[in-house]
Amino acid sequence: MDMHVKKLGLKEKYAHMTRGLGWDTTYQPMEKVFPQATFEGIKIHDWEKWEDPFRLTMDAYWKYQAEKERKLYAVLDAFAQNNGHLGITDARYLSAIKLFLTGISPLEYVAHRGFAAAGRNFPGVGPRVACLMQSIDEVRHAQTQIHAISNYNKHYDGFHDFKHMLERVWYLSVPKSFFDDAFSAGPFEWMIAIGFSFEYVLTNLLFVPFMSGAAYNGDMATVTFGFSAQSDEARHMTLGLECIKFMLEQDPDNLPIVQKWIDKWAWRGIRVLSLVGMMMDYMLPKRVMSWKEAWEIYFEQNGGALFNDLARYGIKVPECLTQCSVDKEHISHQAWATFYQYGGAAAFHTWMPNDEEMDWLSAKYPNTFDKYYRPRFTYWREQAEQGNRFYSNTLPMLCQVCQIPMLFTEPDDPTQICYRESEYKGEKYHTCSDGCKHIFDDEPEKYIQAWLPVHQIYQGNCFNEGVDPTAEGFDPLAEVLKWYHLEHGKDNLDYEGSRDQQNFQAWRGMATQNT
């Protein structure tokens, strides 16, 4: 038999292995097979107009990622075998990595599920293939980060039950609710929420501090993961941007919907980033840059260029973001003050900055640190030295939308907590800002279901089975910590005197000294 074998050109191969895989259904009408494609109100007339930002086929993807993964795991192994954890600057760094790995890694997994669902629900082949690849990227990232957790978990406290904690612990509800909110929307809003706002507008503010922070503090395992993920992130950013342009080019009616989602998700993302701000300014022993500087570089400058680019479609910079130029002077200090006083219920250690660190903060925040925060922190430090360390003993009021304690101040008055209130069907709801109130008022039916950790504790839903809250001597905080799987005295409280501190010093001593 005369087999005429012709090798396909890249372009042809790409067309066959992506668009060529699509078909229209015949047993069932397309709208029944793809019910999620229309209910959000986004109008798509021609899915073929989707421009694939990366002409990548699945087989090429596989080969390329496998190669990267081999290198990454080789480095992780070497890190583990050579006690790489002893190379970090200071064991306080572990608190930063605990917060990041326990707060973000499970979300990589949710992102994996979300992109898989988006891929299933879009009728167009182009975005389906792109979502499929991103979905696999995200599950790979979750896996590699869990391996990183595993390495640290062998030696240090607080890493032992991230999945259990994600669904229970008060501050982990902040990133969790962010992704739950996105995942429970339709596929187009998901793409704006995660694909665009999170992966494009805010990704540099999340990953650059994390990766540079790791590099500055000697955490080579995390740096390696960062390099490995970076090429994926570039693809994700391009997908997010392509998706938004596609929606805007398909129909003019899409503009107000897309603008609404951008406004919402930019604000939701910024609230989550408060945690990153405090990590940069307080938790990294060796600092990369201040949160304020990061905001100026990665949002005000780079983000500004992005919105200039989108202006031709009629997209405007979200109004709520003007407030961020004021907030950038405050949020990291306010967030760290919160974790310091609720450090009894956090699965990482807290501390007050030392003199040198306070001077750094004064220099980075000349308008605000000495005026508003230094006296407070100095007072706490003095009290701690006298054996009167401040732990708040009452649960805080939370924002109904972002779920962060109501710690943010009025944009025009940093001495006044920002209170916003809405009423829906006779019930009161409180939010921390105009941004969160606006989100609530737009879809109250969604946010009245919020699983707010403080309210859940008061409802009695956060104790182990068999625990009797009416029994004599019942200690609610102790019982909540047990339910969190958080070991009191080991995972929480001050860094000073912690097991992490002691072990790190002892082990590093063994690695660098003879006696």
Measured CA to CA, the distance from residue 487 to residue 500 in angstroms comes to: 13
Measured CA to CA, the distance from residue 396 to residue 342 in angstroms comes to: 9
Q: Does 56 bind another protein (CB under 8 A)?
A: no
For residues 375 and 509, which CB has a smaller minimum distance to another protein in the complex?
375
Count of residues that interact with another protein, criterion CB under 8 A? 54
Q: Does 186 bind another protein (CB under 8 A)?
A: yes
The span of 78-86, 111-119, 208-216, 370-378 binding another protein (CB under 8 A) equals: 370-378
Measured CA to CA, the distance from residue 247 to residue 42 in angstroms comes to: 7
Three-state secondary structure call for residue 357: helix
Measured CA to CA, the distance from residue 118 to residue 28 in angstroms comes to: 20
Q: Which residues contact 157 (CB under 8 A, 6 or more apart)?
A: 487, 490, 491, 498, 499, 500
For residues 46 and 443, which CB has a smaller minimum distance to another protein in the complex?
443
Q: Does 331 bind another protein (CB under 8 A)?
A: no
Q: Which amino acid is it at 229?
A: A
Q: Does 492 bind another protein (CB under 8 A)?
A: no
**Selection from 354, 398, 405, 407 nearest residue 378 by Cα:** 354
Least distance (Å) between residue 159 CB and another protein: 26
Interaction residues for another protein, span 16-35 (CB under 8 A): 35
Q: Does 258 bind another protein (CB under 8 A)?
A: no
Q: Does 253 bind another protein (CB under 8 A)?
A: no
For residues 20 and 460, which CB has a smaller minimum distance to another protein in the complex?
460
Measured CA to CA, the distance from residue 240 to residue 32 in angstroms comes to: 26
Q: Does 485 bind another protein (CB under 8 A)?
A: no
Interaction residues for another protein, span 376-395 (CB under 8 A): 376, 379, 390, 392-395
Three-class secondary structure assignment of 134-184: HHHHHHHHHHHHHHHHHHHHCCCCCCCCHHHHHCCCCCCHHHHHHHHHHHC
Q: Does 411 bind another protein (CB under 8 A)?
A: no
Q: Does 326 bind another protein (CB under 8 A)?
A: no
Query: Residue 44 corresponds to which tokens in the numbers above?
Result: 């798509």
Instruction: Enumerate long-range contacts of 292-300, CB under 8 Å, 24 or more apart.
Output: 292/328, 292/329, 292/332, 292/364, 292/365, 293/364, 294/205, 294/208, 294/209, 295/205, 295/324, 295/328, 296/328, 298/204, 298/205, 298/208, 299/201, 299/202, 299/205, 299/324, 300/325
Least distance (Å) between residue 78 CB and another protein: 42
Can you say how many angstroms the Cα of residue 242 is from the centroid of all Cα atoms in its chain? 22
Least distance (Å) between residue 179 CB and another protein: 18
Least distance (Å) between residue 274 CB and another protein: 12
Q: Does 120 bind another protein (CB under 8 A)?
A: no
Least distance (Å) between residue 82 CB and another protein: 41
- Among the listed residues 425, 465, 472, 514, the single contact to another protein using CB under 8 A: 425
- Among the listed residues 183, 227, 307, 451, the single contact to another protein using CB under 8 A: 451
- Among the listed residues 143, 238, 341, 503, the single contact to another protein using CB under 8 A: 341
Are the CB atoms for 190 and 224 separated by under 8 Å? Answer: no
For residues 449 and 514, which CB has a smaller minimum distance to another protein in the complex?
449
Q: Does 123 bind another protein (CB under 8 A)?
A: no
Q: Does 173 bind another protein (CB under 8 A)?
A: no
For residues 293 and 442, which CB has a smaller minimum distance to another protein in the complex?
442
For residues 179 and 210, which CB has a smaller minimum distance to another protein in the complex?
179
Q: Does 417 bind another protein (CB under 8 A)?
A: yes
Are the CB atoms for 100 and 149 separated by under 8 Å? Answer: no
Q: What is the CA radius of gyration of the chain?
A: 24
Instruction: Enumerate long-range contacts of 23-31, CB under 8 Å, 24 or more apart.
Output: 30/123
Q: Residue numbers of the site for another protein (CB under 8 A)?
A: 35-36, 39-41, 186, 334, 337-338, 341-342, 371-372, 375-376, 379, 390, 392-398, 405-407, 409, 415-417, 419, 421, 424-425, 427-430, 441-443, 445-446, 448-452, 454-455, 458-460
